[in-house]
């Protein structure tokens, strides 16, 4: 369900949000009628533009319901709890419009015993964990971002052992290539742009750099990326295959379902340079269990993606080139370079997005694909 005000004042997107209803949320017996009232209250809060303490309380309720769902045994009404039923879609207090994680400005830096560097950027908004959440709720608020830099011959974690995390983790190979000795119950080579997802507490790794240059692993997690050594001999192969996923960036030899596909934008007025340098191409995978949608994007020189929004928010990893984003910083463009990470809030309308005149841009986007909203962007 979506609640939209009757008019849009000026060029500003009025606050609203969608409600994703669980199939058991509204039972014939009316057992969850109280929850429905809660939903309608949240709709009133956001559609009326209320902010501050009330809006923050709505977010706190979301986290509280997440905790209820994890209780054992869970409360009788937790099936339809807000963590599974609601997605906030408005400018609520404490949640920024977007967040930039600059590649050369980490908030902390540490070196492991074998020389591997771990760089961290904290989320500007403190929120609950990922366990028990719907896939879209991993990207609805700015994540914690971690980068692991491995020089040739180095392994993460040190000592060449597997690890497990306290939270669901999304790994993106930002640069170079690594070999995962135990991912999805087997050994896999991961190259630039490839994505590996694991749910919490599942053993994986180590990641080893067998190349001649540095390899960089980016990690997005809802809470601080904490890991510990794990004994993979106790892991069940079927469990790893269900709760871990690998997605590969298309390469020049890819064909069929593994190749780049059309962007879905129709036929926007692209420049001659964009057409001749490859246009805008995508490769996309939908949500799976806790795993949000994954979209890999290739933009030729001087290409653009029109005004749009991401209903569940999105996390961008810039793999190469530059991405210029309009409407995020008022009338000015925001420029993201190779290695930068960007988060954008659910249903924030912005655009267009541009590649530079002289280079191709490649991105990995986590979260719901963009929904085009022509005419609503700032000019």
Give me the DSSP letters along 220-279.
EESS---EEEE-GGG--HHHHHHHEEEE----TT--GGGS-EE-SS------HHHHHTT-
Taking the C-alpha atoms of 27, 33, 39 and 45 in order, what is their torsion angle to the nearest 10 degrees?
160
Task: Output DSSP code: residue 301.
Answer: T
Query: Cβ–Cβ contacts within 10 Å for residue 119, how many?
Result: 20
Burial class (CB in 10 A: 0-12, 13-18, 19+), 114: middle
**Beta bridge partners of residue 362, listed in sequence order:** 298, 320
The encoded tokens of residue 373 equal: 């909203």
Contacts of 213 (CB under 8 A, 6+ apart): 152, 176
Q: How far is CA 228 from the centre of its chain?
A: 23
Q: What is the pLDDT of residue 46?
A: 39
**pLDDT for residue 18:** 32
Spatial distance between the Cα atoms of 34 and 109, rounded to a whole number of angstroms: 47
pLDDT for res 191:
97
**Quick one: which of 166, 163, 208, 204 has its CA closest to 190?**
208
As a whole number of angstroms, the distance between CA 154 and CA 359 comes to 31
Q: In whole angstroms, what is the distance from residue 105 CA to residue 93 CA?
A: 26
Which has the closest alpha carbon to 378: 324, 330, 338? Answer: 330
User: What pLDDT is attached to residue 94?
Assistant: 62
Mean pLDDT by 10 residues, the chain (379 residues): 32 33 31 41 39 41 44 42 37 74 96 96 73 65 95 93 91 97 93 95 94 97 90 74 92 81 76 90 88 93 91 95 90 93 92 93 93 70
Q: Are 314 and 349 in contact (CB under 8 A)?
A: no
Which pLDDT belongs to residue 268? 65
pLDDT at 320: 97
Q: Could you tell me whether strands 162-165 and 227-230 are parallel, antiparallel, or unpaired per DSSP bridges?
A: antiparallel
DSSP H/E element including 200: none
Question: Would you give the DSSP letter of residue 79?
Answer: G
Alpha-carbon span 276 to 166, nearest angstrom: 46
What pLDDT score does 61 carry?
43
List CB contacts of 55: < 8 A, sequence separation 6 or more.
Answer: 45, 46, 90, 92, 93
In the 8-state DSSP scheme, what is residue 283? E
Helix axes 52-70, 33-47, angle to 10 degrees: 150
Other Cβ atoms closer than 10 A to 30: 9
Cα gap 205→186, rounded to integer Å = 10
Find the helix or strand (DSSP H, E) in which 41 lies: helix 33-47
């Amino acid at each position: 369900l979506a609640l939209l005000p009757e008019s849009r004042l000026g060029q500003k997107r009025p606050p609203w949000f969608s409600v994703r209803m669980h199939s058991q949320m509204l039972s014939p017996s009316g057992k969850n009628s109280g929850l429905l009232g809660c939903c309608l209250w949240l709709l009133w809060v956001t559609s009326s533009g209320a902010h501050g303490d009330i809006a923050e309380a709505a977010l706190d309720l979301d986290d509280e319901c997440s905790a209820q769902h994890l209780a054992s045994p869970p409360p009788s009404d937790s099936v339809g709890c807000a963590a599974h039923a609601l997605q906030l879609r408005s400018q609520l207090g404490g949640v920024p419009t977007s967040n930039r994680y600059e590649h050369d400005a980490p908030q902390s830096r540490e070196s492991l015993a074998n020389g591997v560097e771990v760089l961290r950027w904290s989320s500007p908004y403190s929120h609950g964990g990922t366990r028990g959440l719907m896939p879209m709720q991993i990207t609805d608020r700015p994540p914690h971002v971690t980068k692991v830099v491995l020089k040739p011959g180095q392994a993460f974690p040190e000592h060449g052992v597997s690890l497990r995390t306290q939270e669901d983790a999304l790994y993106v190979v930002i640069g170079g290539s690594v070999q995962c000795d135990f991912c999805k119950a087997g050994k896999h080579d991961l190259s630039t742009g490839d994505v590996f997802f694991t749910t919490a507490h599942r053993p994986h790794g180590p990641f080893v750099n067998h190349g001649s240059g540095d390899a960089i692993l980016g990690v997005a997690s809802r809470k601080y990326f904490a890991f510990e050594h794990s004994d993979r001999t106790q892991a069940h192969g079927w469990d790893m295959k269900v709760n871990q996923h690998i997605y590969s960036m298309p390469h020049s030899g890819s064909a069929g379902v593994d190749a780049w596909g059309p962007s879905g934008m129709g036929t926007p007025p692209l420049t001659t340079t964009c057409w001749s340098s490859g246009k805008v191409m995508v490769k996309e995978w939908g949500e799976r269990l806790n795993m949000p949608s994954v979209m890999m994007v290739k933009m030729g020189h001087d290409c653009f993606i029109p005004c749009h929004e991401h209903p569940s928010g999105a996390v961008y990893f810039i793999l190469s080139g530059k991405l210029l984003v309009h409407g995020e910083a008022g009338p000015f463009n925001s420029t993201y370079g190779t290695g930068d990470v960007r988060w954008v809030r659910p249903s924030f309308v912005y655009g267009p997005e541009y590649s530079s005149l002289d280079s191709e841009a490649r991105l990995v986007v986590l979260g719901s694909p963009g929904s085009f909203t022509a005419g609503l962007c700032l000019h």
